[in-house]
Structure 1
Amino acid sequence: MAKKEQTIVPLLPLRGLLVYPTMVLHLDVGRDKSIQALEKAMMDDHMIFLATQKEISIDEPNIDEIYRIGTLTRIKQMLKLPNGTIRVLVEGIQRAEIIHYYETEELLEVEIQKFEENVSKDAEDEALMRSMLDYFDQYIKLSKKISQETYATVADVDEPGRMADLITSHLPLKLKEKQEVLETVDVKKRLNKVIDIINNEKEVLNLEKKIGQRVKRSMERTQKEYYLREQMKAIQKELGDKEGKTGEVSSLTEKIEETGMPEHVKKTAFKELERYEKVPSSSAESAVIRNYLDWLISLPWSKATEDTLDIQNAEKILEDEHYGLEKVKERVLEYLAVQQLTSSLKGPILCLAGPPGVGKTSLARSVAKSLNRNFVRISLGGVRDESEIRGHRRTYVGAMPGRIIQGMKKASTINPVFLLDEIDKMSSDFRGDPSSALLEVLDPEQNHTFSDHYIEETYDLSKVMFIATANNLATIPAPLRDRMEIITIAGYTELEKVHIAKEHLLTKQMNAHGLKKSQLQIRDDAMKSVIRYYTREAGVRGLERQLAAVCRKAAKKIVSNEKKKIVLTNKNIEDFLGKKQFRYGQAEFEDQIGVATGLAYTTVGGDTLSIEVSLSPGKGKLILTGKLGDVMKESAQAAFSYIRSRANDLKIDPDFHEKHDIHIHVPEGAVPKDGPSAGITMATALISALTGRPVRKEVGMTGEITLRGRVLPIGGLKEKSLSAHRAGLTKVIVPKENEKDLDDIPESVRNELKFVLVSQLDEVLKHALAGEVNESN
């Protein structure tokens, strides 16, 4: 093959395609240098050299990234498009090789050497052409992607080289393989190369055909198995054979009919059963449907227990199992009474709120027993996923219903007592807000159509008696709290704890430790000491642990033959429980100036609080210590401002704030204290210090103060009164507006304490301060 003259022409790099000689092709050109090359070619002789890039992704290829052999082409037509690109129609002329590059900023020109191709053919060329055409025809029949018209066009070509190029352009080859054909200048070699390529492509197509047939046979086998399975079902039906899936479907049908589920649910169940019957047992969907049907069947839809509407019996059960807690018992008995009259009342939604250990969970169990209902409990502590309440969609792997539906399955009746334990300890994160999901459950107007994501059908929860428990109402979202009837359990009085310990806890622990009544006795004064000095709580869990410790020590002494009978008294209590762990507030031994006794409410009950005031020469600086919260500090400021405004009436030097620094201290500085109810106590201690009049030792007080000396109501009066009684106080000053709360205080405490109701600070001072003004002050 001879090489001819050398020519300089513009270069147009191609991405992802190439042009063979005699081919006519449309190209879209958008790169700046390529557009400049086209314009230069149009200005000269319309000739341009097309060479293919080695990498498609490169926008601005350099000389080394372009194949050296390409096609010299003639531009037949050029059209500028609105988007800035140029559409050009080119015709391949002949193969050529780049000899030299001439690069400028605008375009790339190349010096090329053309390859002359011999158009004459000999017998060998003719034979090769016929073989190539024959192989191409076989390829077309296998592929079915190339039309017979294309074959006819190729068969009409006389030149061997042109025929090889034309066939290659129609084959689905990689760009590298097409470039190799372009670079094969010798015609005989090119014909042989194309024949090899077509043979390889035929082999690939044959393999694809075999794989397709294999897949088809596999599908036909599955269809055959399905047909045989259906035949087997028909045979089993004829023979009355109840084994296999037919018998299973029959059994499920009977169960669905027996559940008493509503019509819309039954319709869904039969629809799913029909699907289950058609789906092969080996299919994963079969297990999903079966699991869903099992849940529908196992849920109680109509089965209910009959309430024991005997109020006397219910009251006896509640009294026997729980001492105190009158409000809760009263609410349950009211519900029973209304049920007896109407027999159609929706289940109430109660929330028992109170400190740990006061018997909230066990009380719910007793309520179920008194109503003769099944009891089910779910713990919501730490639940932060909405699907825990509403369930998962059946599209998920391992999907299951939420805890409400699971609880109803466990209850097996539609009217259980359902305990939602620790409802205040739910949290929310990116998986949703479970407290929002509970809104529908705990709304009496909505819960008759509760929807679980797994079950999908509505479920009636209106006959369920929901009881929630919480330690802290502040952490329950307001919309959820609004749907529940809050019953506060403040905690047990000391007298109640003594009764509970003697009647319930001690008996329980003695039985657990194998002790008989004749072997262990705890005297009343020792029991009070255990409660006062070894526990500090609103409930009785800590008390039960201490009694367990006493029982263990007693068991050891009895087994080791030290004693046959153990009697716990105040004298030997430290031998069993060690040194006293707690102290409780006690009344002062004598009247003191600048010291007043306040009453405080804590999470473990009430306590007394001594407030001390000290005066020292200074310029009216007010110092507050004792780890006080902001509200308590503001109460001290309010008391200070009130005293300054009433200095003359109180017989105090009007300029006292310019002569003295005032230090208010509340002992037990490590314990945080806050709240407005120490207002009148601080004011009384301040006035006592400034006037020199002592505060009566037997008086305790609680109340918020205003700048005008008004005494505002406070909370926790029951607990505060108990702490006053325990401390040995005999007179308690409380706001007049708290008169309604006196009924909550146990009668035994009310009889031993004198309650003074006040509305102004003047009335407080009349009862709290003793003696006359000390002139030295």
Structure 2
Amino acid sequence: MENNNEILVPLLPLRGLLVYPTMVLHLDVGRDKSVHALEKAMVDDHLIFLTTQKDVSIDEPAEQDIYEMGTLTKVKQMLKLPNGTIRVLVEGLKRARILTFFDEETHFSAKLETFEDSTEKDVEHQALMRSLLEYFEQYIKMSKKISSETFSSAADIEEPGRMADIIASNLPLKLKEKQEILETIDVKERLAKVLETINNEKEVLNLEKKIGQRVKRSMERTQKEYYLREQMKAIQKELGDKEGKTGEVAALQEKIDQAGMPDHVKETAAKELDRYEKIPASSAESAVIRNYIEWLVSLPWTNSTKDDLDIAKAEKILHRDHYGLETVKERVLEYLAVQKLTNSLRGPILCLAGPPGVGKTSLAKSIASSLNRHFVRVSLGGVRDESEIRGHRRTYVGAMPGRIIQGMKKAGTVNPVFLLDEIDKMSNDFRGDPSAAMLEVLDPEQNHSFSDHYIEETYDLSKVMFIATANNLATIPGPLRDRMEIISIAGYTELEKLNIAKEHLLVKELEEHGLKKSQLQVKDDALMSIIRYYTREAGVRSLERQLATVCRKTAKIIVSGEKKKVIVSEKNVEDFLGKRKFRYGQAELEDQVGVATGLAYTTVGGDTLQIEVSLAPGKGKLVLTGKLGDVMKESAQAAFSYVRSKAKGLSIDENFHEKNDIHIHVPEGAVPKDGPSAGITIATALVSALTGRPIKREVGMTGEITLRGRVLPIGGVKEKTLSAHRAGLTKIILPADNEKDIDDIPESVRNQLEFVLVSHVDQVLKHALAGEK
């Protein structure tokens, strides 16, 4: 490369354009300084320096806004256009660099240092030129934007530097890249740089081609699908489906978008919707898929109610709706308190266990009301099929989700109070065990991903407050019982029943029978008579029915015009309800030999049980009657064996079993009776019959007996005690190990009873038998 003398020429800054040496091209010039620079060049020797602006947006560039390296060109022709701009034809001569920049009043000019390309051409130059031509030819074939004549003219060039410039000027490069080639003065280096650039451009073209082919294939597939869909619409129209499924699919898509489903469920719904769109409406599968999508979008996935965490308000609602039941109310208020502190508590799983009519179901409604949650109830009584809980698989005709998912749809929120009514009445058969399916629903560790056979996708039940009700815990399988928090509701005392009748039942019955408070007045003594002499139950259902009878008869009296107001008192209760149905007071009117009062626990609450023993001459035969179960028969055998072993100490003939037949009977023979807790009662009745000593009529007892006379603890103390209180007993004999259960008994009942805690039958006999030993 040779460095020539310095020259001073006018300068014209270019915007978005670059001129290489030997290039001939037209320029449109409009800026004042540029026009003056051209005019100056035309006056002098037609030479002008062209350099490119770094930023095309600048209208009046300064020295720092233009590149130092540019091209010295010769103005070949100049033409003024009607719009005021000048069109000029220039030819590039040689590279030049600004030494000194002059910003004159009318135009720019610069003192330049010019550079001539070396004409030297060795083997390496020739190799680079050949490679460059080869790559350029390939590029022209790939791009199809450059004519073959351009390649021919480039191939004819002998000078290496000029070839590099011509090829670079025909490549679609950025201005900065073109400037870099212009600034590369060394010819060999310039050839290498253009070679590298053209190679990169080839790679870009290859990628463009691949992307283009991919897009084309995609377009072809989309066009094909569009064509087929249009055909499908036409076929559906011919078959009678005028609108096709377009509107329906769009509506379902909108529902899917608004349902708030988790991503994996939304993906499943989208796939099913795609299948639904492609299947003809007349197909049976079309209805199945649509039904499935409808279920998915109708389930609550995120919609929830905000818990009302006002504990005082919740307590007020619970007390308003229910009298008594302090344990349950306390548990609900505890849950609310913890929820208020943590704001992220999993829903508890409670089981309200107790006899019918004590308000288990209505209590669950009150809990929902106090929490400000939606309430949904599912009855499980008689459910024998596992699919009732988990749903049917969609392959079956008429398949639908199980009761849990149906309940969630009905609730409409992810955190309702969900009542599983009569959970102890589920049974199983060849169709599976529904109680086993309930394990997943009621397990706090698993129910966040409950799986229904119909829905298939997992559903979160962890925010649901499950409340189950049961009459008899014994029929609930152990694993299921283990997952629930058992809260026992034993039954009501007379005082509680009186308050419930006044505050709830009578108000409800008056409303249902169209009566006003001014038309019927039931006095407290009348209510107490109804409770004592017309009902015998743990709950209040029979009491409600008796009050309904009173209301019906009152309605007849008022409608017939006999009276305008009816007052029911203890004296005229029989006029409304007939003769007394039950005897209230002492279980027995007098002390009797061989008759002991036991306390039993049944599915409808506690009850008293008369156990009778009679002796007759014979050969020691033991007869048991009264529809006794196996456990109760074993208790009788154990009591008999104990009495035989202790005969001498009890002043009984040691050979009594050889001389007498012994008959043990429990009245109400049609009612099945079973359980170990009658052990001490049978033993007491036996001793009484064999010794002739009567048993105190005011004493009730319960406890399991061993062959050595030890008294073992039993269950249902609260229920049994309430029944004893109802029957008018005043002294209760309990196993010593049951002392802890006495605290569960209402204080009003506790204060009227005497509790005797025993650990051996000798102590039982001491308190139960009257007369001298």
TM-based fold match above 0.5: yes
Equivalent residue for 2:361? 361
Q: Distance in 1 between matches of 2:707 and 2:735?
A: 16
Cα RMSD after superposing both structures: 2.9
1:397 Cα deviation from its structure 2 partner: 4.0
Determine whether 1:405 maps to 2:411.
no
1:505 Cα deviation from its structure 2 partner: 0.7
Equivalent residue for 1:581? 581
**Structure 1 278/522 Cα, relative in aligned 2: closer, same or farther at 3 Å?**
same
Determine whether 1:473 maps to 2:473.
yes
Ranges in structure 2 where 5+ consecutive residues have no aligned partner: 1-224, 237-242
1:670 Cα deviation from its structure 2 partner: 4.0
Equivalent residue for 1:324? 324
Q: Distance in 2 between matches of 1:270 and 1:503?
A: 55
**Structure 1 282/585 Cα, relative in aligned 2: closer, same or farther at 3 Å?**
same
Equivalent residue for 1:518? 518
Equivalent residue for 1:646? 646
Equivalent residue for 2:767? 767
Determine if contact 1:586/1:726 at 8 Å carries over to the other structure.
no
Determine if contact 1:513/1:552 at 8 Å carries over to the other structure.
yes
1:303-314 correspondence to structure 2 within 5 Å: 303-314=303-314
**Structure 1 455/644 Cα, relative in aligned 2: closer, same or farther at 3 Å?**
closer
Q: Distance in 2 between matches of 1:631 and 1:387?
A: 36
Equivalent residue for 2:560? 560
Equivalent residue for 1:682? 682
Equivalent residue for 1:460? 460
1:688 Cα deviation from its structure 2 partner: 3.0
The one-letter code matched in structure 2 to 1:772 is E
Query: What is the SS of the residue equivalent to 1:367?
Result: helix
> For residues 60-115 of structure 1, what are the alpha-carbon distances to aligned partners after superposition, in whole Å with 9 as ceiling and x for unaligned?
xxxxxxxxxxxxxxxxxxxxxxxxxxxxxxxxxxxxxxxxxxxxxxxxxxxxxxxx
Q: Distance in 2 between matches of 1:396 and 1:387?
A: 12
1:302 Cα deviation from its structure 2 partner: 1.0
> For residues 196-219 of structure 1, what are the alpha-carbon distances to aligned partners after superposition, in whole Å with 9 as ceiling and x for unaligned?
xxxxxxxxxxxxxxxxxxxxxxxx
**Structure 1 470/310 Cα, relative in aligned 2: closer, same or farther at 3 Å?**
same
Q: Distance in 1 between matches of 2:410 and 2:610?
A: 53
Identity %: 80
Determine if contact 2:584/2:728 at 8 Å carries over to the other structure.
no
Task: Give the paired residue count.
Answer: 543
Equivalent residue for 1:426? 426
Query: What is the SS of the residue equivalent to 2:770?
Result: coil
**Structure 1 674/476 Cα, relative in aligned 2: closer, same or farther at 3 Å?**
closer
> For residues 225-247 of structure 1, what are the alpha-carbon distances to aligned partners after superposition, in whole Å with 9 as ceiling and x for unaligned?
854567999xxxxxxxxx97555
**Structure 1 425/758 Cα, relative in aligned 2: closer, same or farther at 3 Å?**
closer
The one-letter code matched in structure 2 to 1:315 is E
**Structure 1 642/391 Cα, relative in aligned 2: closer, same or farther at 3 Å?**
closer
**Structure 1 417/518 Cα, relative in aligned 2: closer, same or farther at 3 Å?**
same
**Structure 1 224/715 Cα, relative in aligned 2: closer, same or farther at 3 Å?**
closer
Equivalent residue for 2:158? none
The one-letter code matched in structure 1 to 2:726 is R
Equivalent residue for 1:53? none
1:341 Cα deviation from its structure 2 partner: 1.9
Q: Distance in 2 between matches of 1:318 and 1:700?
A: 35
Determine whether 1:572 maps to 2:577.
no
Determine if contact 1:584/1:607 at 8 Å carries over to the other structure.
no
Determine if contact 2:586/2:698 at 8 Å carries over to the other structure.
no
Determine whether 1:446 maps to 2:446.
yes
1:570 Cα deviation from its structure 2 partner: 3.2
1:264 Cα deviation from its structure 2 partner: 1.2
Task: Name which of structure 1's ranges 741-750 and 667-676 shifts more when overlaid on structure 2.
Answer: 667-676
Determine if contact 1:249/1:273 at 8 Å carries over to the other structure.
yes
Q: Distance in 1 between matches of 2:767 and 2:529?
A: 32
Larger Rg: 2
Equivalent residue for 2:179? none
1:263 Cα deviation from its structure 2 partner: 1.2
1:372 Cα deviation from its structure 2 partner: 0.8
The one-letter code matched in structure 2 to 1:407 is G
Equivalent residue for 2:509? 509
1:286 Cα deviation from its structure 2 partner: 4.2
Equivalent residue for 1:605? 605
Q: Distance in 2 between matches of 1:231 and 1:689?
A: 97
The one-letter code matched in structure 1 to 2:750 is R
Query: What is the SS of the residue equivalent to 1:679?
Result: helix
Q: Distance in 1 between matches of 2:436 and 2:682?
A: 44
Determine whether 1:415 maps to 2:422.
no
Equivalent residue for 1:346? 346
TM-score by length of 2: 0.65
Equivalent residue for 1:490? 490
The one-letter code matched in structure 1 to 2:699 is V
The one-letter code matched in structure 2 to 1:707 is L
Q: Distance in 1 between matches of 2:689 and 2:235?
A: 102
Ranges in structure 1 where 5+ consecutive residues have no aligned partner: 1-221, 234-242
> For residues 466-500 of structure 1, what are the alpha-carbon distances to aligned partners after superposition, in whole Å with 9 as ceiling and x for unaligned?
12222333333333333322323233233322221
Q: Distance in 1 between matches of 2:619 and 2:334?
A: 63
1:47-62 correspondence to structure 2 within 5 Å: none
Q: Distance in 2 between matches of 1:245 and 1:674?
A: 65
Query: What is the SS of the residue equivalent to 1:406?
Result: helix
**Structure 1 747/353 Cα, relative in aligned 2: closer, same or farther at 3 Å?**
same
Determine whether 1:742 maps to 2:742.
yes
Determine if contact 1:624/1:664 at 8 Å carries over to the other structure.
yes
1:92-491 correspondence to structure 2 within 5 Å: 226-228=229-231, 245-281=245-281, 283-491=283-491
Determine if contact 1:585/1:607 at 8 Å carries over to the other structure.
no
Q: Distance in 2 between matches of 1:624 and 1:266?
A: 67
1:285 Cα deviation from its structure 2 partner: 4.4
1:307 Cα deviation from its structure 2 partner: 0.8
Task: Name which of structure 1's ranges 707-716 and 580-589 shifts more when overlaid on structure 2.
Answer: 580-589
Equivalent residue for 1:732? 732
Q: Distance in 1 between matches of 2:653 and 2:411?
A: 74
Q: Distance in 1 between matches of 2:483 and 2:339?
A: 21
Q: Distance in 2 between matches of 1:287 and 1:694?
A: 78
Determine if contact 2:597/2:610 at 8 Å carries over to the other structure.
yes
Query: What is the SS of the residue equivalent to 1:339?
Result: helix
> For residues 553-597 of structure 1, what are the alpha-carbon distances to aligned partners after superposition, in whole Å with 9 as ceiling and x for unaligned?
001011112122222233322221223334467343443443333
Task: Name which of structure 1's ranges 544-553 and 647-656 shifts more when overlaid on structure 2.
Answer: 647-656
Q: Distance in 1 between matches of 2:418 and 2:691?
A: 61
> For residues 668-695 of structure 1, what are the alpha-carbon distances to aligned partners after superposition, in whole Å with 9 as ceiling and x for unaligned?
4444333222222222233333334333
**Structure 1 223/399 Cα, relative in aligned 2: closer, same or farther at 3 Å?**
farther
TM-score by length of 1: 0.65
1:534 Cα deviation from its structure 2 partner: 2.7
Query: What is the SS of the residue equivalent to 2:677?
Result: coil
Q: Distance in 1 between matches of 2:266 and 2:707?
A: 70
**Structure 1 230/663 Cα, relative in aligned 2: closer, same or farther at 3 Å?**
closer
Q: Distance in 2 between matches of 1:673 and 1:281?
A: 62
1:368 Cα deviation from its structure 2 partner: 0.9
1:344 Cα deviation from its structure 2 partner: 1.7
Determine if contact 1:332/1:367 at 8 Å carries over to the other structure.
yes
Determine if contact 2:354/2:605 at 8 Å carries over to the other structure.
no
Query: What is the SS of the residue equivalent to 2:676?
Result: coil
Determine if contact 1:597/1:700 at 8 Å carries over to the other structure.
yes
The one-letter code matched in structure 2 to 1:390 is R
